[in-house]
Structure 1
Amino acid sequence: MTAVERRQRRAVPAPLLVLTAIASVQVGSAVARTLFDDLGAAGVTLLRLAVAALVLGVAFRPKVRTWSAGAWRAAALLGLAMAGMNLLFYLALRTVPLGVGVTVEFLGPLLLTLAQTRRVAHLLWALLAGGGVALLGIGGGVTAPPAGLLLAFAAGLCWAAYILASAHLGTLVPGTGGLAAALAVAALIVLPFGAPGAAEVLTRPQLLIGAAAVALLSSVISYGLEINALRRMPTRVFGILMSLEPAAAAIAGLVVLHQRLGLREVTALLLVSVASLGATLGSR
């Protein structure tokens, strides 16, 4: 048995890394929502990305001087996807419950799965997911305004780009150094939008504790686990596990934010999750 094989046998299973990342990022999102009144959604986004970039940069000290032009482009693309994904999603969370927001956002990875397979049967999964999201926009007691749902969907498109860009960067840059650079790029992109709100920590330093917790839960831990898991599993398997995201978000929203979803919202969550699971399983 080679040294590489021995390391692989001792390594934590890749699916467990993904499940841990799911729990971490959703708890982090719930904590982030509690900071919006003080820092604003864009301010929380900036602090999350900046703190995460600083932590990973100090911890791993990526050797950026040795990177190829292709590695830099991959890191920049990942940073762009992360900036859009995080900023748009946090803006959506101002008016949309966490479970509902993640349900709509999850259409991005689902569309990615469908685009990678192009099977006729997947049209049924797409219709099932579309029906689930449509449930969120009908009825008299709608808790999620259309603007918030559109922001969550746009964040989902960035999420799909993040999956592809993260997998690509992981093949070019070893370890987690590439993630640190991508987070720095994302922070620079969000800086013009989040600087006014983030400046509040200068007069109220205690807010930095919550922002640091969000950075650790939603970026450092979750992204680090995901990028390492994507090195050891195909994106199809990754997509199967990510089908649990809406349910994890609903639980985090209930426990941390006391957001109770109605029957319509829960049904929509289940329909989108089942559609994602079915489409991903059928992409073998």
Structure 2
Amino acid sequence: MHAHRWTQAVPLLAVLGSVIALGIGTSFAKQLFPLVGSLGTTALRVGFSAVLLVVLWRPWRWPLNRVDALSLLRYGVALGFMNLLFYMSLRTIPFGLAVAIEFSGPLAVAMFSSRKPIDFLWLALAVVGLGLLLPIGEGATALDPEGVAYALAAAFCWGSYIVFGKRVSHLHAGHSVALGLTVAAIAVVPLGAWQAGAALLQPSVLLYGLGVAAISSAIPISLEMVALKRLPQEAFGIMTSMEPAVAAVLGLIMLDEHLSALQWLAIVCTMLAAAGSAMTAGPSATKSVPADVVM
């Protein structure tokens, strides 16, 4: 009996560990901003993540045709700029709120692919949550408009990443993620090198960036793959809806980012919308690869 309960708990703990590792990795990454900027941090995170996953999965073992190569190219570019724009948003808005805004991307994809009446409830919750965060109206929060714009752009890239990811869903997840991150690195590392220059090559910065990449990518992806093999898609989606709250708590603990009551309410609305959408999603909404690889 105890062994059976442990077997059931393992995938849930794997998702929780993945979400926490992503949050910790991003919190550590933000501390690199004063040294190499947001673009330099993106270069370190994505670049080292690509190296780690290429070594781990050795994607050259699988064949790749021209159609799949073009799909992986789009997938990787969306992945790279999702990460870059998200990090740029973190320069001026709190971590938890940036995650909540970015969640509008996958939520939009889920809403467009569904025709169920109940989904209008999740859409309404998402709109309320986003409305509480956007810097509009007299009662608006004090969020920086530029930071919000970057988070919304990252949300668009996240939605694109999911759409393009489904086109390579027939590939092994390790294959697609390793090659996708390689393309992402090719797209964003030059921008980081341009911004940070020689500071990017300092041994201490490189070592810190390697640690961030391991915590933010290698560990979460491995844990998500464990979970995806054992959890129904709905349960996986409900569990990952915790990300905005985990990010907000870690932002408070690690970055001293304090949120207002309305901002916490916005996070709760976003989480309920994400969890509800995952709960009522059809089989076509199945996540084929770890879609949260570079939160």
Shorter-chain TM-score bucket reads 0.7 to 0.9
Aligned to 2:73: 76
In structure 2, what is the Cα distance between the partners aligned to 1:10 and 1:75? 34
Q: Indicate yes or no: 2:114 matched with 1:117.
A: yes
Change beyond 3 A, Cα 1:232–1:25: same
In structure 2, what is the Cα distance between the partners aligned to 1:108 and 1:80? 16
Change beyond 3 A, Cα 1:75–1:212: same
Aligned residues of 1:166 and 1:227 also touching (Cα < 8 A): no
Aligned residues of 2:193 and 2:200 also touching (Cα < 8 A): no
Aligned residues of 1:43 and 1:194 also touching (Cα < 8 A): yes
Q: Please state how far the C-alpha of 1:229 moved relative to its aligned partner.
A: 4.6
Residues 1-284 of structure 1 mapped to structure 2, 5 A cutoff: 13-63=10-60, 66-136=63-133, 137=135, 138=137, 142-166=141-165, 168-173=167-172, 176-201=174-199, 204-226=202-224, 229-230=227-228, 236-284=234-282
Q: Please state how far the C-alpha of 1:217 moved relative to its aligned partner.
A: 1.6
Aligned residues of 2:43 and 2:190 also touching (Cα < 8 A): no
In structure 2, what is the Cα distance between the partners aligned to 1:245 and 1:10? 23
Aligned residues of 1:86 and 1:155 also touching (Cα < 8 A): yes
What amino acid does structure 1 have at the position aligned with 2:143?
A
Change beyond 3 A, Cα 1:222–1:52: same
In structure 2, what is the Cα distance between the partners aligned to 1:246 and 1:45? 20
Change beyond 3 A, Cα 1:205–1:139: farther
Q: Please state how far the C-alpha of 1:72 moved relative to its aligned partner.
A: 2.1
The gaps in structure 2 that reach 5 residues or longer are: 1-5, 283-295
The gaps in structure 1 that reach 5 residues or longer are: 1-8
What amino acid does structure 2 have at the position aligned with 1:148?
G
Q: Please state how far the C-alpha of 1:83 moved relative to its aligned partner.
A: 0.7
In structure 2, what is the Cα distance between the partners aligned to 1:195 and 1:235? 39
What amino acid does structure 2 have at the position aligned with 1:81?
A
Structure 1 stretch displaced more, 192-201 or 76-85: 192-201
In structure 1, what is the Cα distance between the partners aligned to 2:200 and 2:111? 46
Aligned residues of 1:171 and 1:231 also touching (Cα < 8 A): no
- Identity score, percent: 35
Q: Given the two structures, how large is their TM-score scaled by the length of structure 2?
A: 0.82
Aligned residues of 2:18 and 2:220 also touching (Cα < 8 A): yes
SS of aligned partner of 1:86:
helix
In structure 1, what is the Cα distance between the partners aligned to 2:201 and 2:112? 48
Q: Please state how far the C-alpha of 1:40 moved relative to its aligned partner.
A: 0.8
